[in-house]
Structures are given as structure tokens and as C-alpha cells.
Amino acid sequence: MQPTATVLVYSDDSNTREQVRLAAGRRPAPDVPAVEFVECATPAAVLTEMDRGGIDVCVFDGEAVPMGGMGLCRQIKDEVFECPPVLLLIARPQDAWLATWSRADAAVTLPVDPVEFAGSLAALLRRKRLLSA
């Protein structure tokens, strides 16, 4: 049996977290591991989980409050050794430059499009697997 990948999902909005879970499904692509989710509604919870380790990919809501996913992404990229890749959920395609500023590895727009999201998540999981090999 193939191991699972752990995906941390940060959003203060439970509906956004649910959209992410539903879009990814149990396995975002046939050639990547099944995923299990760790959901966080606060930046403090994200930092606690990052300290624990074992996160393969992060999905951050750029529109989250009180701290948006872009700022949080930039923070963990600076502070977490061997930081996992981050998929950023952005409000508009025009916000892609902010995703670049935040050092996100990929970005997709809200509301979550299942095909686009699953493809981006699978690409990050593949990259993580190649880097870990």
C-alpha cells in the first residue's frame, strides 16, 4: 500500500477548507499518494503543525483573517527549514504577483475549481516526492 501524503489546509472559513477537501478527493491523481488533511483555522495552529513536522504540502487561503495566507506563506518560507511547498488560494488571477511575493509554489483562484486544484496539488506532491527521493 502506498503511503499517504499530509496536506495542511489553512483558512478561517470552514467552507473554503471543505472546498479544498472535496476538490482533492482521496487522491488528487492516480500517480500520487492518497491524501489526509490537517485543517487549521488560525495562524498559530499552522505554526504548531509546522513545528510538529510531517506536512507534505500546505494549502493557504490568501483571503483568511486575521492573517492572510500570503503573509503566512512568506513567514513559513523564511522560518521553516525545508519548508513544504505551498499552494495559495487567491481571490483573482490579478493577485498572482502577490503569490509570487509570498514565495508560494503555486496558486489557484477561489472559488476552488476541482480540476485546476487537483492538478496543482498533484504537481506539488510529485515535486515533493522527487525532492525527497
Torsion of CA 103, 6, 37, 83, to 10 degrees: -20
Q: Is the backbone peptide bond immediately before 114 cis, with ω within 30 degrees of 0?
A: no
Tell me the domains of the chain and their CATH numbers.
5-132 (3.40.50.2300)
Sign of CA dihedral 57, 47, 68, 24: positive
Question: What mean pLDDT comes out for the span 46-55?
Answer: 97
Calpha distance 112→132 (Å, rounded):
28
3-state class (DSSP) for residue 117: helix
pLDDT given for residue 131 in this prediction: 67
User: Residue 1: what pLDDT?
Assistant: 40
Average pLDDT over residues 97-116: 95
2 pLDDT higher than 60: no
